[in-house]
């Protein structure tokens, strides 16, 4: 299925794309726990990052993942490296001195470690987001017997966004045609917010009522066991793999608490 | 036995100062195609909410009288239960989207998923509904990127897919272009021929007169007209309630006053059709 601009999903047919959404969620969980709880300093983080690099390259999402991740990590690096390099309280091994300022090894290593952890977590999450269509996640949730309202909670914001965007544009055009000046300095923009937000909120309330009726009429609260049009492939191997990941994450948490 | 049986139905919304439905009684038989007409705030939508048990289950105002659908009292059946007997298409298609479906096919299948229909059966019924409404080519598109007319067809397909014996449509032509309106009415005629009972509210009298068997007019919550479509079109009551000023009803009136009106054949949906029809007759 092609992404329609409402999600970050990138169409593909790699094994990662067809992997069960819960498996990829388990990978995100394991990554998050591993980078903070695993012993061995930077080595498990780097190993995990290497695995993620291989997975993104194999599933054809390498450029998209890294473009997205670097957009977050690079600005952070620009702040974190100098701040910790110059000002970290544990600094004691000077690397470089310029006028009265000294860059220290410990601060740089600390910032580097944090950035490595963040990069690993962000890229693991992006693997999930870029290779899992939200509809597959909703179907997977439904198949577990999860209440439809919970699936609705996950799915509806993604689909409401384009409609909301269209409505904002319509209201903005309508108010501008009636003389509202929503450009210019910050004060003008704040003053223009009222006439733009009020119709949006009131319209949303009215639509919520109609949508609730429509959902009710379409059996949303039916007591039947729900079925799903969309098939989410799963296998015994995938199930074992994801339970192993969850178990490893739990063991690492236990290790962190005990040691 | 009527499939819809309403007796002395009166309803007032909790916050409104006037009655929405005022002592309405009507029966609709299986296979009938009934047009509901009336000016704004006449009570058409409220009547449909009562038919689908949204009144009194979701709108809890003051209600008196009885509404029976396939011999079941709506006060005793939930909205979801009534939905298996009545499929409802509301006026604004956008607000009827589930909000959790990423393609038209999934949107149409939504009610079947909720009813626990098996996947193979679901696929068959969805493809059939898409084919009837002529939107098979939209099946893999996102509903949030469709035009109003296309959405209206998606909503109609979503109503047809559950195969309910009664179909209720509240002004379904609002977002359709002239070609789309004719297509919709042709689809409805096919459904009627297939045995469905159809109740439809619309402001387009020319279509209502040509396609429906019977017209019921509402005004200020009261039923003011009820009879065969061809007779109702030239009723003076239409003028009184503000519905008689369309070009179509004026032509019908003129035809009647000039002795050209025939109750056996309805007028065409366009002036050209009407004039050719009259010429053929005389």
- Domain ranges for chain A, please list them: 15-132+233-258, 145-217
Closest chain B CA to residue A219 = B80
> To which residue do tokens 């009106």 refer?
B261
* B24 three-class SS: strand
Q: Do B99 and A159 touch (CB under 8 A)?
A: yes
pLDDT reported for residue A2 = 44
Torsions phi, psi for B23 (to 5 deg): 50, 55
Contacts of A67 (CB under 8 A, 6+ apart): none
Nearest to B79 among A156, A163, A216 (CB): A216
Over the stretch B127-184, which tens digit does the pLDDT of each residue have? 999 999 999 999 999 887 888 889 999 999 999 998 899 999 999 988 888 888 988 9
Calculate the alpha carbon distances from A187 to A99, A169, A171, A175, B223 in Å.
43, 21, 20, 17, 55
Mean pLDDT computed over B252-259: 74
Pick from A69-78, A168-177, A235-244, B135-144: least confident: A168-177
A60 φ/ψ sector (left φ>0, alpha ψ -120 to 50, else beta): left
pLDDT reported for residue A195 = 80
> Looking at CA atoms only, how far is residue A29 from chain B in angstroms?
25
Q: Are A232 and A143 in contact (CB under 8 A)?
A: yes
Picking from B102, B129, B139 by the largest number of A CB atoms within 10 A of its own CB, the best residue to mutate is B102
Q: Do A229 and B113 touch (CB under 8 A)?
A: yes
Q: Do A227 and B119 touch (CB under 8 A)?
A: yes
pLDDT reported for residue B148 = 85
Mean pLDDT computed over A108-112: 94
For residue A235, the tally of other CB atoms under 10 A from its CB is 11
Closest chain B CA to residue A203 = B95
> Looking at CA atoms only, how far is residue A28 from chain B in angstroms?
24
Q: Are A116 and A76 in contact (CB under 8 A)?
A: no
Higher-confidence residue of A191 and B44: namely B44
Closest CA to A150 of A132, A162, A138: A138
Closest chain B CA to residue A159 = B99
Alpha helices in chain A (DSSP H): 15-18, 21-37, 42-58, 62-87, 105-131, 134-143, 148-177, 186-217, 236-258
Q: Say yes or no to pLDDT of A202 above 90.
A: no
Pick from A25-34, A175-184, B25-34, B100-109: least confident: A175-184
Residues of A in contact with B104 (CB under 8 A): none
Which residues numbered 185-204 in A keep a CB inside 8 Å of some CB on B?
none
A140 in B contact zone (CB under 8 Å): no
Mean pLDDT computed over A24-33: 95
**Percentage of residues in chain A with pLDDT exceeding 70?**
95
Pick from A25-29, A185-189, A219-223, B260-264: least confident: B260-264
Closest CA to B197 of B180, B213, B184: B213
Pick from A72-81, A190-199, A233-242: least confident: A190-199
> To which residue do tokens 């006060």 refer?
B75
pLDDT reported for residue B243 = 76
> Looking at CA atoms only, how far is residue A32 from chain B in angstroms?
29
pLDDT reported for residue A66 = 92
Q: Say yes or no to pLDDT of A74 above 90.
A: yes
Handedness of CA A108, A110, A114, A120 (dihedral sign): positive
Q: Say yes or no to pLDDT of B277 above 70.
A: no
**Percentage of residues in chain A with pLDDT exceeding 90?**
44
pLDDT reported for residue A25 = 94
For residue A5, the tally of other CB atoms under 10 A from its CB is 12
Beta-bridge mates of residue B226: B216
> Looking at CA atoms only, how far is residue A156 from chain B in angstroms?
5
Contacts of B117 (CB under 8 A, 6+ apart): A227, B125
Alpha helices in chain B (DSSP H): 44-51, 54-57, 79-83, 104-114, 119-132, 148-160, 178-193, 205-211, 229-232, 236-240, 247-257, 271-281
Q: How many CA atoms lie within 13 A of A75 on its CB side?
A: 5
DSSP per-residue letters across A136-205: HHHHHHHHTT--HHHHHHHHHHHHHHHHHHHHHHHHHHHHHHTT----SSHHHHHHHHHHHHHHHHHHHH
Question: B228-237: which pairs have CB atoms within 8 A and are 24 or more residues apart?
Answer: B228/B263, B229/B35, B229/B266, B230/B263, B230/B264, B230/B266, B231/B263, B233/B205, B233/B209, B233/B266, B233/B267, B234/B261
Nearest to B118 among A211, A218, A227 (CB): A227
For residue B177, the tally of other CB atoms under 10 A from its CB is 12
Residues of B in contact with A134 (CB under 8 A): 102
Residues of A in contact with B126 (CB under 8 A): 229
pLDDT reported for residue A100 = 84
Mean pLDDT computed over B53-59: 89
Instruction: Note the ipTM here.
Output: 0.77
* B11 three-class SS: strand
Q: Are B180 and B149 in contact (CB under 8 A)?
A: yes
Picking from B144, B148, B152, B155 by the largest number of A CB atoms within 10 A of its own CB, the best residue to mutate is B144
Q: Say yes or no to pLDDT of A119 above 80.
A: yes
pLDDT reported for residue A1 = 43
Closest chain A CA to residue B161 = A218
Over the stretch B9-46, which tens digit does the pLDDT of each residue have? 999 998 888 899 999 999 999 999 999 999 888 999 99
> To which residue do tokens 């429509």 refer?
A214
Closest CA to A61 of A12, A117, A111, A94: A12
Q: Say yes or no to pLDDT of A235 above 80.
A: yes
Residues of A in contact with B144 (CB under 8 A): 4, 6, 159, 162-163
Residue B73 gets which letter from DSSP?
Answer: E
* pTM of structure: 0.75
Mean pLDDT computed over A10-36: 92
Nearest to A230 among B83, B106, B116 (CB): B106
Beta-bridge mates of residue B27: B5
Q: Say yes or no to pLDDT of B79 above 80.
A: yes
Picking from B113, B163, B174 by the largest number of A CB atoms within 10 A of its own CB, the best residue to mutate is B113
Higher-confidence residue of A140 and B4: namely B4
Average pLDDT of chain A? Answer: 86
pLDDT reported for residue B266 = 54
Query: Rounded to an integer, what distance in angstroms lies between the CA atom of residue B13 and that of residue A24?
Result: 50
Closest CA to B181 of B200, B195, B167: B200
Q: B267 falls in which pLDDT band (50, 70, 90)? A: low
Peptide bond into B56 cis (omega under 30): yes
Q: How many CA atoms lie within 13 A of B123 on its CB side?
A: 5
Q: B274 falls in which pLDDT band (50, 70, 90)? A: low
Pick from B3-12, B49-58, B251-260: least confident: B251-260
Q: B273 falls in which pLDDT band (50, 70, 90)? A: low
Q: Do B79 and A217 touch (CB under 8 A)?
A: yes
């Amino acid at each position: 299925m092609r992404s329609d601009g409402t999600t970050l999903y990138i169409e593909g047919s790699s094994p990662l794309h067809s992997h069960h959404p819960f498996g990829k969620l388990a990978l995100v969980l394991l990554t998050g726990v591993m980078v903070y709880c695993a012993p061995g300093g930077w080595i498990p983080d780097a190993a995990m990052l290497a695995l993620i690099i291989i997975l993104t390259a194999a599933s054809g999402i390498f450029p998209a993942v890294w473009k997205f991740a670097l957009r977050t990590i690079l600005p952070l690096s620009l702040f974190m490296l100098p701040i910790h390099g110059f000002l970290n309280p544990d600094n004691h091994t000077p690397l470089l001195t310029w006028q009265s300022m000294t860059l220290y090894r410990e601060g740089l290593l600390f910032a580097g470690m944090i950035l490595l952890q963040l990069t690993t977590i962000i890229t693991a999450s992006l693997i999930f987001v870029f290779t899992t269509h939200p509809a597959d996640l909703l179907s997977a949730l439904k198949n577990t017997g999860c209440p439809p309202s919970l699936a609705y909670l996950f799915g509806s914001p993604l689909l409401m966004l384009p409609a909301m965007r269209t409505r904002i544009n319509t209201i903005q055009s309508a108010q501008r045609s009636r003389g509202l000046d929503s450009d210019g300095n910050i004060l003008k923009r704040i003053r223009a917010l009222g006439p733009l937000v009020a119709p949006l909120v009131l319209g949303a309330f009215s639509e919520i009522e109609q949508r609730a009726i429509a959902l009710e009429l379409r059996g949303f609260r039916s007591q039947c066991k729900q079925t799903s049009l969309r098939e989410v492939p799963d296998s015994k191997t995938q199930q074992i793999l994801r339970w192993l990941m969850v178990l490893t994450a739990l063991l690492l948490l236990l290790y962190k608490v005990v040691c | 036995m009527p499939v819809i049986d309403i007796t002395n139905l009166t309803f007032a919304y909790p916050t409104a100062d006037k009655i929405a439905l005022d002592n309405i009684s009507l029966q609709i038989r299986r296979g009938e195609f009934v047009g509901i007409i009336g000016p704004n705030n006449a009570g058409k939508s409220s009547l449909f909410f009562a038919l689908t048990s949204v009144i009194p289950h979701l709108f809890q105002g003051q209600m008196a009288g009885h509404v029976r659908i396939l011999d079941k009292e709506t006060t005793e059946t939930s909205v979801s239960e009534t939905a298996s007997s009545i499929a409802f298409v509301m006026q604004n298609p956008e607000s009827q989207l589930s909000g959790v479906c990423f393609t038209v096919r999934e949107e149409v299948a939504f009610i079947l998923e909720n009813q626990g229909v098996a996947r193979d059966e679901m696929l068959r019924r969805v493809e059939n509904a898409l084919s009837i409404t002529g939107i098979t080519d939209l099946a893999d598109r996102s509903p949030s990127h469709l035009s109003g007319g296309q959405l209206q067809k998606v909503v109609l397909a979503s109503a047809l897919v559950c195969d309910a014996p009664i179909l209720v449509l509240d002004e379904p032509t609002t977002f359709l272009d002239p070609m789309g309106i004719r297509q919709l009415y042709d689809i409805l005629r096919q459904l009627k021929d297939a045995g469905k009972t159809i109740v439809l509210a619309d402001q387009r009298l020319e279509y209502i007169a040509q396609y429906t068997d019977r017209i019921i007019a509402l005004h200020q919550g009261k039923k003011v007209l009820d009879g065969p479509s061809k007779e109702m079109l030239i009723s003076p009551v239409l003028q009184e309630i503000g519905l008689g000023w369309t070009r179509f009803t004026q032509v019908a009136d003129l035809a009647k006053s000039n002795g050209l009106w025939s109750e056996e054949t309805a007028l065409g949906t366009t002036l050209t059709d009407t004039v050719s029809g009259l010429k053929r007759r005389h």
